Amino acid sequence: MSLGPVMLDIAGMELSVNDRARLSHPLVGGVILFARNYASPAQLVELTAAIHALRIPPLLIAVDQEGGRVQRFREGFTRLPAMRELGAAWDRHPHQARQLAWQTGYVSASELKACGVDLSFAPVLDLDYGQSCVIGDRAFHRKPQAVAELTHDLMRGMKAAGMMAVGKHFPGHGAIQADTHVETAVDRRPYVDIKMADLIPFRQMIGYGLHGIMAAHVIYPQVDTYPAGFSRVWLQDVLRQTLCFEGCIFSDDLSMQATHSYGSIEQRARQALQAGCDMVLVCNDTEASDQLLNSLPWELSATSMARLARIRGERAKYAWSRLHESEQFIRAVKAISAIAA
């Protein structure tokens, strides 16, 4: 059985009978975990082992572990700084900030890998325009070059721990105030303005070898009438052709309010996959998940399957019990704890 194109969530800290049945469906290819799924590193190791044991090849396990206010696993994990703190450090001392970014990526990915998590949806590549209610301090900086440099080193740190990076939210979510979780978001800027600012970190990170990108649910009407994650213009013409991205494209959560005017969950998933997404996320709505699995006939292309295989990354360098014996890990934790306090 190969991986399917749908990533789902689960309800609790262990797999229920319904979870096992749902995750065994051939359309499912991954699981995204939330704070409700976590109690301790030991519990997380057991949960991820149970998920991975369900299928061959194992399902991908993902989480949003960016740092700051978006860190799903906290107790027992290193506290990660908000990425804006790294941007502030870059203003004072760019070289030191890049080292901190590397250490942040390394610590985050090392802890997740040691607990059986395959990837974190990070880093945020959105620019910090100072007005987005949902991005805010999740963004590194207002300057595109600062974002590109810091996220490059964070990605390098993640890769050193065996984890691939997933940049988000393409082509840029930072210039609007609206939160796509609860409302429609529209960015009315012309393409040239986006190209000369927001796309720069994406372009440079692709050149550095970025393996994954998550598309925004934002509408850019000067470019296309569809949100970026449903748009062949953005995903095929711009991302694949112009920017030459060959990695894995993830949709943002198709249960978010910004997608509801685009039909049933099946119609939304079909639009996202036809536009160019390799995997779609459906979270916090078991009714929609079941409806989708019962109605969406879809097989991943060989190209998408290869992309998903690469995004899994490498095996963990250390088990959780051995991780905190590593001198490199200990030094990195001390460095980032100073700015995350």
DSSP H helix total and E strand total for the chain: 13, 10
Burial of 39 (0-12, 13-18, 19+ CB in 10 A): middle
Task: Report yes or no: 282 and 5 within 8 Å, Cβ to Cβ.
Answer: no
Residue linked to tokens 């959105």? 126
Between vectors from CA 240 to CA 238 and to CA 246, what angle results, nearest 5°?
150
Task: Supply the pLDDT for residue 181.
Answer: 65
Burial of 282 (0-12, 13-18, 19+ CB in 10 A): buried
Identify the CA nearest to 173 among candidates 133, 211, 143: 133
Peptide bond into 52 cis (omega under 30): no
Question: What is the number of alpha carbons within 13 Å of residue 168 lying toward its C-beta?
Answer: 24
Task: Supply the pLDDT for residue 173.
Answer: 92
Task: Supply the pLDDT for residue 179.
Answer: 62
Task: Report yes or no: 148 and 200 within 8 Å, Cβ to Cβ.
Answer: yes
Task: Supply the pLDDT for residue 295.
Answer: 85
Distance CA 79, CA 337 (A): 7
Going residue by residue through the chain (341 aa), what tens digit of pLDDT does each one get? 689 999 999 999 999 999 999 999 999 999 999 999 999 999 999 999 999 999 999 999 999 999 999 999 999 999 999 999 999 999 999 999 999 999 999 999 999 999 999 999 999 999 999 887 789 999 999 999 999 999 999 999 999 999 999 999 999 998 887 666 666 789 999 999 999 999 999 999 999 999 999 999 999 999 999 999 999 999 999 999 999 999 999 999 998 776 777 888 999 999 999 999 999 999 999 999 999 999 877 778 889 989 999 999 999 989 999 998 999 999 999 999 988 86
Q: What is the pLDDT of residues 50-90, one digit of tens each?
A: 999 999 999 999 999 999 999 999 999 999 999 999 999 99
Residue linked to tokens 């779609």? 280
H/E stretch holding 215 reads strand 212-215
Residue linked to tokens 């998408």? 304
Task: Supply the pLDDT for residue 247.
Answer: 97
Residue 125 CA to chain centroid, in angstroms?
Answer: 11
Q: pTM for this structure?
A: 0.96
Residue 160 CA to chain centroid, in angstroms?
Answer: 18
Q: Which residues are catalytic?
A: 181, 252
Task: Supply the pLDDT for residue 13.
Answer: 97
Distance CA 83, CA 334 (A): 17
Identify the CA nearest to 149 among candidates 190, 100, 76, 107: 100
Amino acid present at 172:
G
Task: Supply the pLDDT for residue 180.
Answer: 64
